[in-house]
Structure 1
């Protein structure tokens, strides 16, 4: 029991020290009486000392409770480690902005670090043997070991080379016309190859998802289209001063009340136009099963900022100001949009990412339009 008490005290001291370092505070003023306080109280004390507001939202409390309940020995932690592994499969931090860890990440890591650092993983992984390349450096000032022998036949060899050059010159005169023709054929082939490569690059540009301006929004209001039973009209907030009006074919799947205050992702650079006399200024992206009996707007993370642009790892490029309908960009891109077997929205397998994680759907292996 005394040993356990020592471990608990060390754990709490490490949490306070790590949080203070993360927030640039002096830990000395906060390390008194840590044994009598739980992790939640320690977290609030440190935030209060840093001048930050007390953050007690559900996600924060969930991870603090996990840290509080973590067993004191490594062998009992497998369930918790599996949960963390699942949580971090699609993002870099537990609760933070992109790659920047939060206080919650610091707390969980502080609790896990002593357990993992003491565990011997040496027998769990196969050793990889590397053979170093042998290299003998040449000493400065050393003479070149290669010797060039000049024998009595050198002059004869030189004369033979001159005769061969003269013969080649005579042959080249006879073949000059043929050479010109061959050069022309070769240049034509190179030009054709270059043209094919240019066409391939242009084709890749036409189906690049970077042409689309996909943003996070929330539906503030929805109502039935006045002259089309299959359509709904939504007013969507993407962080601009003016709400964006969008017409969607969702009336068969949702009532206006079910969509109100729902977060969505939408393409905002489609050309505005009227659908049955009602102006539409965007396209809400939805996942649907194979026979289109189930349709669902994609979910962005709750913490994602309104108006934030969805990105795709490894794909750079500025979106078009307004998509040109004549180029049919959407028709070329949407066949490559789908959800994977975990419901993560992707373009050619690359996730729709926000600073707070990927966009998802409850429908796995679904098409997205």
Structure 2
């Protein structure tokens, strides 16, 4: 079973993965700190004031590492928890710090189990396979090989033979002849009906109408006037349509990848946080967000986010804000999470949407209520991918996501 040396490696792997996940240099954490700290105290060097759910899983990991002979009971509880979850927290597919801590602790114990014992924890194995191929734990841990069932699709059924009647050339000719005959009869009936419906005096009326035609000069003037009117109307209609479409076209937004360098509580509003967000190339701006109820300043710091940078700057409770951090929230607004750009996306990179090309406006006009027209179409799909009208938020490294699926984004 797992020994003290194994859990020392788990702390090393945990420290490395947390550094990568939180955009910190792994060399900034000394080996002495890793060696002498227990799991809870080591974790506190990365997150000072974690959410209650995260605290629960850090405690789970600490108890798991220190308990002797009780690990199988803990694994049974974890296996049950993961029966309805893809990751430890929420219901999406984005791993959190809780997944990193629990994985690093459980992995060293699971690596000593036999195949028959491992099969008792099928949900944990599925989760571990996903985490070890998603999170970088360095070289301290070796991957666990998870046997995966192979799906063999059924063989396609042979095509049906055509009926003889369908292939009979004579029947096709008969149908074709009927169609031609019907067409000829119809044409004859139409001609006959037209002759019968002629009104006496049609020739005179035709002559009168002919005589009432405008003269050449008048005709040209009318055509010129009519042409101008039609042309003006044709030009005006597309212009109005284009203006209307542009107001709810996501391409007018400048949505970029940013990194929260630091955050602090708003001095006069308990529900607001103030963040200093790095957009790369020395471009740092201050943004006020309504995230204080969901994240502490330490939890939100060093986190990559997606934000709209061409909203009109203004003060929120006397504090200047020059951006809007986009967040996904569930229906009752009890879970709110900033969208997560993929690893590898560059700071300042503009988010794109396939099929929606165009340059963003320099600054959005609040009077046009452009955001109000666009945000109803921003949502995460069933896999947590952020979309505009079903089109993903795309970066050079892939789509932006959230652990909150089927959620509103604003």
Q: Which range, TM-score by smaller chain?
A: 0.5 to 0.7
Shift of 1:308: 1.1
The alignment partner of 2:213 has SS state of helix
Give the 3 Å change call, closer, same or farther, for CA 278–185 of structure 1 in structure 2.
Answer: same
Q: What runs of 5+ residues in structure 2 fail to find an aligned partner?
A: 1-134, 160-205
CA drift at 1:185: 7.0
After superposition, give the CA deviation of every residue in 1:35-75 in whole Å (9 maximum; x if it has no partner).
xxxxxxxxxxxxxxxxxxxxxx83999xx979x9899xxxx
CA 1:126 to 1:173, structure 2 compared with 1: closer, same or farther past 3 Å? farther
Paired residues in the alignment total: 229
Matched, 1:261 2:339: no
Instruction: Report the equivalent of 1:176.
Output: 214
What's 2:366 paired with? 325
Give the SS at the match of 1:326: helix
Rate the CA distance shift 1:296–1:199 in 2: closer, same or farther, 3 A: same
Do the aligned partners of residues 242 and 186 (structure 1) sit closer, same or farther apart at CA in structure 2, a change above 3 Å counting? closer
Q: Is it true that 1:341 corresponds to 2:387 in the alignment?
A: no
- With structure 1 as the length reference, what TM-score do the two structures score? 0.53
Going from structure 1 to structure 2, the CA distance change for 1:60 and 1:212 (only over 3 Å counts) comes to farther
- Quote the residue 1:13 is aligned against: none
Instruction: Name the CA distance, whole Å, in 2 between partners of 1:349 and 1:298.
Output: 16
Higher RCO (Cα < 8 Å, 6 or more apart): 2
CA distance 1:261–1:126, shift in 2 (3 Å): farther
Matched position secondary structure for 1:196: helix
Q: 3-state SS of the aligned residue for 1:58?
A: coil
- The secondary structure found in structure 2 opposite 1:221 is strand
5+ residue gaps, structure 1:
1-56, 80-120, 128-167
- The Cα shift of 1:297 comes to 0.6
* Aligned counterparts, 1:1-369, within 5 A: 58=136, 77-78=150-151, 124=156, 172-176=210-214, 191-192=232-233, 194-369=235-410
Q: Give the secondary-structure state (helix, strand or coil) at the position aligned to 1:330.
A: helix
Residue 102 of structure 2: aligned partner = none
- CA distance in structure 1 between the aligned counterparts of 2:398 and 2:282, rounded to whole angstroms: 26
Offset, 1:172: 3.8
SS of aligned partner of 1:258? helix
Deviation at 1:198, TM superposition (A): 2.4
Contact 1:70 1:77 in 2 (8 A): no
Q: Distance in 1 between matches of 2:147 and 2:357?
A: 41
RMSD in angstroms over aligned alpha carbons? 3.8
Q: Structure 1 residues 252, 294: CA separation in 2 closer, same or farther (over 3 Å shift)?
A: same
